[in-house]
A and B are shown apart, each in its own frame.
Chain A
Amino acid sequence: MDDFQYHAPSSVDGVLSALRGADDGKVLAGGMSLVPVLKLGMAAPSDLVSLRNVPGLSDIEDHGHCLKIGACCTHAQVAASSVVQERIPALAAMAGRIGDPQVRNCGTIGGSVAHNDPAADYPAACVGLGATIITDRRKISSDDFFGSMFETPLEEDELVTAVCFPIVDRAAYAKFENPASKYAVAGVMVAEGDDGVRVAVTGAGAGVFRVAEMEAALADDFSADAVSGIGVSSDGLLSDNVAGAEYRAHLVTVMAKRAVEACG
């Protein structure tokens, strides 16, 4: 890892000005994605600006129609939160299955959405539940936020401050893990709420995507049988040493079915 300047300001403004003052500054949250990237020499930012001293970014607030989860909430915090467990149990369960305990105790929701790893779980949770990403300057709907792998509309100096999840009628997440990394090989969030039915898939493609055919079928008949016959095309799906595109496509259907079953 190359040397960098380390900053730990105590306000959002402080973070933003540190970023703007740097040649090539990067936000550091839990470091679970960023530090490995640095160690492998895949990035060498001049400055790292830590969020650890910024107050108020780790709150979980119940706003009635939605839960607002601060960007610096760790996965462990979300998983253990009684509010989340009660209001959106699928989200708490999803967070509780990210990586391993070390990762869950460091990794944050803000880091996860900002990083937009194609195999991460939060993108499916956000898109599936219809969440809104809140930054220091705007609100972005999940459908517009998650691009292809590692792409988001965030500006260089833009900070995710929270994610708002609407309360849905029912939702569940089913995940088939990569046995080595524990990331999703195919993870499917199914939710039914004011917005109708949403089916969001992570891990299988170059970025999170929705499956319209499944959503329509479930809107008609919210049952496992409704999706068990719906396949997704393997064209354009990821392929690696753990799972080829065809197997991934198969897993998407199986996970969708299991998520629907788990919705009860």
Chain B
Amino acid sequence: MSDNGSNGTGFIGASLKRKEDARFLTGRGRYTDDINLPGQLYAHLLRSTVAHANLGSVDTSAAEAAPGVHAVFTGPDMEGVGGVPTGWLIHSKDGSPMVEPAHPAMAIGKVRHVGEIVAIVVAETRDQAREAAALIDVDYQDLPAVASLEAARADGAPLVWDEADGNLCYDWEVGDRAAAEAAIDGAAHTVSIDVVNQRLVPNAIEPRAAIGNFDPTTGEYTLYTTSQNPHLIRLLLGAFVLGLPEHKLRIVAPDVGGGFGSKIPHYAEEAILTWTAGQLARPVKWTSDRSEAFVSDTQGRDHISTATLGLDEDGKFVGLKVSTQANLGAYLSTFATCVPTYLYGILFAGPYTTPAIYCEVEGVFTNTVPVDALRGAGRPEATYLLERLVDKAAAATGIDRVDIRRRNFIREFPYQTPVALQYDQGDYDATLDLALEASDWDGFEARRNEAAGRGKLRGIGISTFIEACGIAPSAVVGSLGARAGLYEVGSVRVHPTGSVSVFTGTHSHGQGHETTFAQIVAETLGVDFEAVDVVHGDTNAIPFGMGTYGSRSLAVGGTAIYNAVQKVIAKGKKIAAHLLEASEEDIEFADGNFTVAGTDRSKSIGEVALTAYVPHNYPEGLEPGLEETAFYDPLNFTFPAGTHVAEVEVDPETGEVELVAVTGADDVGRIINPMIVNGQLHGGLAHGIGQALLEHCEYDDEGQLVTGSYMNYTMPRAGDLPNFNINHNTTHCTHNPLGVKGVGEVGSIGVPPAVINAVVDALSPLGVTHIEMPATSQRVWQAIQAAQAQD
């Protein structure tokens, strides 16, 4: 066997067509809303229409009397049931724990954001439930709302939570403040930047849905839900909300149409539907529509930051200080508190050797939809700030943008950053060189001149970045406040005839796990790709697992599967040794065959499997069967890295930005399926470009969502994107056996600053030095107007 587990069958590294696409592309996926249970009722959730109010009376009598209605419940009906928990405890600078307000599944006494659930109506049909809900008379006694970070942190601002002074959840820090400030004070150059990282709506193509079911004969509850992590939901819903033991609670997350982080959290809807099913002893289904998703799916980003970078006379970074306010929304969603802290502040070394770094973050409550992870989660915010700041530093020192990055690259590994992470491996020069070459960086001036002849301002921008993925070593995250471990579980069941079922605790909602994981098993076990199926998404089928997010599925979940295969091979050697009348130490395994070293005597994996299940001639004391499970807790994060280059053309008359070229040079670790990896890169790039140029979730001062539909929330479309020029330079992760790192978040982390740097580059001849995301036509036009007014 070659290094990193390859058996030479060629499955690893091949662009095999995705197993799952046969059903997805023919409309035969089975999503939560496709499931209908006998006797099923339908729920409509009545949601708050105001951002902040005392709840006076909630009169449900007319709704209860409406045709087809079985029940109406409001917050007080669920009193005594636990609140929706938060997964991560953050401590403030002074050591005090964050403010962690109660989170009842349905509003009790107050509503705190538009979209908060006030009541559930259950009826025979969806229409009956919806029509009955319109009959509920809610007395909203309006309170002043705080809909933005500025409003929430203003003196005397109305409070979202009485217990959170200044609407502050925590005031967190990482790094050495004194060292960073001293380095900046003594620096030859200092550069500062104020940036906004705007709020985004995740917009998975499948809106959330849930079906609660209860079997009174067994006392077992089942919840079908659109989740990225069914076991995590079982843990939170069972242990914290409903008080159900694991063996009486089954969570099924069937086909799920995209998550992007918005399907990580344990949502109130999941608790309400499961509880309601128990109350009625009938299955109850709820399916969100798009308008509802806009005000009830967790949203992402929403930071305001100010940062200063100190440089010596040679352009070496000597100190970095970042102060950020992060909007958490009205309630603390599952990972809300760790995204802007431990997934953000620890990224500020980037690929650079900055010796002194300090980051402080205020987590702030507002009367808006809760914020949680969104593709990249914290890392895009850090990368955007850092790469904008580096470009500003280049402009301020007169050092070339590429050169200043090169002067600061980390080149010795392992590298301990001043903000907790230790990078195991990387080659940042290689991806930079590749990107410069592939984007024809040196030929840009000719393209700028050619565009100028057409009346267009052309600009080019770059970002060099790292990510921390493969989340995460349990002991490390535990010491930082995580309330769960972040290992992963894989089970490999070799059936009597040699076909294989693989069980993974990760969840595939677009990533192609059913294919990638099958490639790993087919290659390492030496069986046919067609002989391997991957099972995920059902807590009754899977031993355990933590789910999919943070680009962890391959690095952590794939490794667990790989390790389980190694256990299968180890057991297989015992069986083969017995059959071949050799000693176990003499058995070698390759290409699906157990061979006595130096001979041609061998047994195939199929023969060994059959023997394991029909153990007539079998080693004494060895258990029959060929099935192994591995729990894998990673030793470190993985660190994908790369360089992205964007080129834009700005129409100076209208401010319109056209993205004309995007080049990526990425090191995502070992590549199992290049087609899937490129697909992930494309999707992530589209997502990142959406943030840079198009998407902006806006609330008005009263906390009403202004951009609540696709008529005014701009999603990136194919026509907004150029062909992507994707290139790979791969280094292998050193601490997992497959050498893999992760790819799902690369685009959304790396590309936004490259695009904005390109826009600023295009506009710099006019004197524009910064533009906020999204760089909409109006913003660009206004920036041009403002710059011209200054002349």
By a beta-carbon cutoff of 8 Å, the part of chain A in contact with chain B is: 2-3, 40, 176, 178-181, 183, 240-244, 247, 250-251, 254
CA distance A234 to B430 in the complex (A): 52
Residues of chain A within 8 A of B706, CB atoms compared: 241
Residues of chain B within 8 A of A244, CB atoms compared: 778
Selected contact of B782 from candidates A179, A241, A247, CB within 8 Å? A247
B696 and A247 form a contact (CB under 8 A) = no
A247 and B694 form a contact (CB under 8 A) = no
Task: Give chain B nearest CB distance to A57 CB in angstroms.
Answer: 28
Selected contact of A180 from candidates B131, B654, B712, B781, CB within 8 Å? B712
CA distance A2 to B715 in the complex (A): 29
CA distance A2 to B713 in the complex (A): 26
Residues of chain B within 8 A of A40, CB atoms compared: 291
Residues of chain A within 8 A of B777, CB atoms compared: 176, 179, 243, 247
CA distance A250 to B652 in the complex (A): 12
B710 and A181 form a contact (CB under 8 A) = yes
CA distance A131 to B22 in the complex (A): 51
Residues of chain A within 8 A of B627, CB atoms compared: none
**Most A-side CB within 10 Å, residue of B710, B712, B720, B778:** B778
A242 and B776 form a contact (CB under 8 A) = yes
B698 interface residue (CB < 8 Å to A):
yes
Task: Give chain A nearest CB distance to B457 CB in angstroms.
Answer: 15
B707 and A241 form a contact (CB under 8 A) = yes
Task: Give chain A nearest CB distance to B705 CB in angstroms.
Answer: 11
B653 and A254 form a contact (CB under 8 A) = yes
Residues of chain B within 8 A of A179, CB atoms compared: 694, 714, 720, 776-777
Task: Give chain A nearest CB distance to B713 CB in angstroms.
Answer: 6
Residues of chain B within 8 A of A183, CB atoms compared: 711
**Most B-side CB within 10 Å, residue of A179, A243, A247, A250:** A179
CA distance A25 to B122 in the complex (A): 31
A180 and B711 form a contact (CB under 8 A) = yes
B712 and A181 form a contact (CB under 8 A) = yes
Can you identify 17 A-B contacts, CB atoms within 8 angstroms?
A: A3-B127, A176-B656, A178-B712, A179-B694, A179-B720, A180-B715, A183-B711, A240-B712, A241-B707, A242-B712, A242-B778, A243-B777, A247-B777, A247-B778, A247-B781, A251-B654, A254-B653
Selected contact of B654 from candidates A178, A241, A254, CB within 8 Å? A254
B778 and A176 form a contact (CB under 8 A) = no
Query: Closest B-chain residue to A258, C-beta based?
Result: B653
B698 and A241 form a contact (CB under 8 A) = yes
A180 and B710 form a contact (CB under 8 A) = yes
Task: Give chain B nearest CB distance to A207 CB in angstroms.
Answer: 19
Task: Give chain A nearest CB distance to B784 CB in angstroms.
Answer: 11
* A241/B291 contact (C-beta < 8 A), A247-B778, A251-B654, A254-B654 known: no
Residues of chain A within 8 A of B696, CB atoms compared: 241
B214-268 residues with Cβ-Cβ distance < 8 A to A are none
Query: Closest B-chain residue to A244, C-beta based?
Result: B778
* A243/B778 contact (C-beta < 8 A), A40-B291, A251-B654 known: yes
Residues of chain B within 8 A of A176, CB atoms compared: 654, 656, 777
CA distance A250 to B656 in the complex (A): 13
**Besides the contacts A176-B656, A250-B781, what 19 more A-B pairs have beta carbons closer than 8 Å?**
A176-B777, A178-B712, A179-B720, A180-B710, A180-B712, A180-B714, A180-B715, A181-B710, A181-B711, A183-B711, A242-B712, A242-B778, A243-B778, A247-B777, A247-B778, A247-B781, A247-B782, A251-B654, A254-B653
